Structure 1
Amino acid sequence: MNGTTSQLLSLITFGNHFLKTGQLPENYYPGNNAFKFCNKTNFLYLDSTPEGGPTENEVAAAPAHWFELLKHEGCKGLKAYYHPSENNPDGTPDHKLAGFVGGGGTWLIETIYSSYSDFWAARWEVTLPDDPESNIWSVSYGRTVANTDTIDFCPDPLQVREGLHNVLTDIQSFAQQHQLTNWADIFKEALDILDGNAPANDWHTDQINVEGYDQSTLQLIYAAMSTHVFGGMGSWNDISFETEEDNQRNNDLSFYLYDYMNRALIAGVNSIKIA
């Protein structure tokens, strides 16, 4: 699973649990897998000077402080928001850029209040490249839009489940036909999770707070997390085929798999009811 997306989803699910109960697991930060390889995770209000220059005001130095701030401000809940890229270089589809930080479309956290929403975007920067524990990343979540209309978007989980199941079945068959056994096994594992025939990877289950989600919804979330095969060298994106027909078929399947993976994450995580 892409680390930037999994961290965002972790903040949403654990943040909602905190807003409801006031509780957070001991050592959630930095102990949770979502923060592996990070040396900082803070939260900023973004604004501009009278002259038009950008300003950043840190309002929380860690996730727990941010959750407390949101609760104090009357936040009702957190939701995920995603939209595909519109102007990729050379028209490159998002699934081919998903392995790069900032690529693959835009993910935001929507913080919902009684009559408005704010939106927060993540900025990942390598600040400690030689850290002995490999905690090289500093992550800042900036409030990019404030006091705007609430979106609270949630696709139909049943329709998304069917679409994800269909494309996983097709791409698994495609991988098998081309003797890509390891990849076929990955797609089969995601199908098994979706169908309830296999447990999810511990790496994924650690990152999501399960409170408030039924088993079917968790299967959808974990299957989608297991489906993220898009990256750089050595990933599914790195595979090419002898014929243009096979390359086009792979590109089509990958496009729909990436699309339904993102839909499944939103449909699953956003299905939880907020106050």
Structure 2
Amino acid sequence: MNGEVAQLCNIVIAAKKALQTKTTIDYLCEEYVKNLTFVFSEGDFYSAKSVSDWYTHCLEKGLQDVKYATPTTVKDRGILGFSNTSGSSIVCFFTGDVVSYFTPEWAYKNDGWDILYTERLWKNAPKGEPLFSDNTKDFKKVLQEIAAFADKIGFQGFANIFTKAFDILEGTGVNDTYYAQYLKNIPMPESNVRLFCAAEIADVFGAMGSWNDSPSYEAYERGLEKQYDMLSGQLLTQIRLALLFAVNQW
């Protein structure tokens, strides 16, 4: 999974857990992060230097809930392995029907990443909080189809990845050590953890060596580029729908 997306999801999960249990937020910043800053919107003039500081200030402003937001389609899957390409954000719901969202900007400097989250007010936000549906059935379907396609064009390694994600959703892969770590460390219901873990495994949209690279060329050479594009687009949509449900709906 793209590091930007993973961090956004993990911050939201930690914040939701803290809100539900009325405790301090439990979030361990990634080792590769050098500086993490949250700048609040105009009129606030507050700059938080950690996730804990950000969460505390949000509570002071009347935080009621927090959601992960992301588009379910993109114009160019080929750039998703790079920073600042996910289009995702953290959406905060405050008392008084105030809604804002934080979007990240990643910059690599010297020996680590500087990450700046900037808050923007969501003017004319829809009334009420969004609800998300469990897409397990549709996710499994596209995983089966794209696994068969990957095998057909000679990429058994990718076929195995998609099958592993399918097995997690099916329940036959619950003893997998990768899944076990997710279940142990992520404070969500098990059905949500399955979707989250499967989305992590199936996210193969990177740069060199990814599903965007050689498989795309091989599909073109075989005259199967339309099928490749269709299945790849469907997979990305199901991955993002899985994240939206898993991270937000519990």
- TM-score, normalization by structure 2: 0.87
CA distance 1:75–1:148, shift in 2 (3 Å): farther
CA distance 1:144–1:24, shift in 2 (3 Å): closer
2:133 corresponds in structure 1 to: 156
SS at match of 1:237: coil
Contact 2:38 2:117 in 1 (8 A): yes
Correspondence for 1:123 among 85, 105, 110: 105
CA distance 1:165–1:209, shift in 2 (3 Å): same
Counterparts of residues 216-255 of structure 1 (less than 5 Å): 216-239=191-214, 240-241=217-218, 243=221, 245-255=223-233
Percent of aligned positions that are identical = 22
SS at match of 2:224: helix
- Gaps of at least 5 residues in structure 2 are none
C-alpha distance in structure 2 between counterparts of 1:206 and 1:137, whole Å: 28
**Amino acid in structure 2 at the alignment position of 1:36:** E
Please report how far the alpha carbon of residue 75 of structure 1 lies from its aligned counterpart in structure 2 after TM superposition.
0.5
CA deviations 1:45-66 (Å, max 9, x no partner) are: 2449xxxxxxx94421100111
Contact 2:72 2:241 in 1 (8 A): no
Please report how far the alpha carbon of residue 203 of structure 1 lies from its aligned counterpart in structure 2 after TM superposition.
10
C-alpha distance in structure 2 between counterparts of 1:256 and 1:125, whole Å: 30
C-alpha distance in structure 2 between counterparts of 1:70 and 1:243, whole Å: 52
CA deviations 1:154-181 (Å, max 9, x no partner) are: 3311xx2111111100000011122211
- TM-score, normalization by structure 1: 0.79
Contact 1:13 1:208 in 2 (8 A): no
> Superposition RMSD on alpha carbons, in Å?
2.5
1:205 corresponds in structure 2 to: 182
**Amino acid in structure 2 at the alignment position of 1:96:** G
Counterparts of residues 188-199 of structure 1 (less than 5 Å): 188-198=163-173, 199=176
- Gaps of at least 5 residues in structure 1 are 49-55, 87-92
1:62 corresponds in structure 2 to: 50
**Amino acid in structure 1 at the alignment position of 2:158:** W
SS at match of 2:203: coil
Correspondence for 2:67 among 65, 72, 79: 79
SS at match of 1:225: helix
CA distance 1:138–1:258, shift in 2 (3 Å): same
Please report how far the alpha carbon of residue 95 of structure 1 lies from its aligned counterpart in structure 2 after TM superposition.
2.0
Please report how far the alpha carbon of residue 208 of structure 1 lies from its aligned counterpart in structure 2 after TM superposition.
6.5
Contact 1:42 1:141 in 2 (8 A): yes
2:153 corresponds in structure 1 to: 178
CA distance 1:200–1:6, shift in 2 (3 Å): farther
2:13 corresponds in structure 1 to: 13
Please report how far the alpha carbon of residue 194 of structure 1 lies from its aligned counterpart in structure 2 after TM superposition.
1.1
CA distance 1:216–1:267, shift in 2 (3 Å): same
C-alpha distance in structure 1 between counterparts of 2:211 and 2:156, whole Å: 12
Correspondence for 1:111 among 92, 103, 109: 92
Contact 1:80 1:270 in 2 (8 A): yes
**Amino acid in structure 1 at the alignment position of 2:117:** Y
- Larger deviation: 257-266 or 176-185? 176-185
**Amino acid in structure 2 at the alignment position of 1:11:** I
**Amino acid in structure 2 at the alignment position of 1:218:** V
Correspondence for 1:39 among 17, 34, 42: 34
C-alpha distance in structure 2 between counterparts of 1:141 and 1:23, whole Å: 20
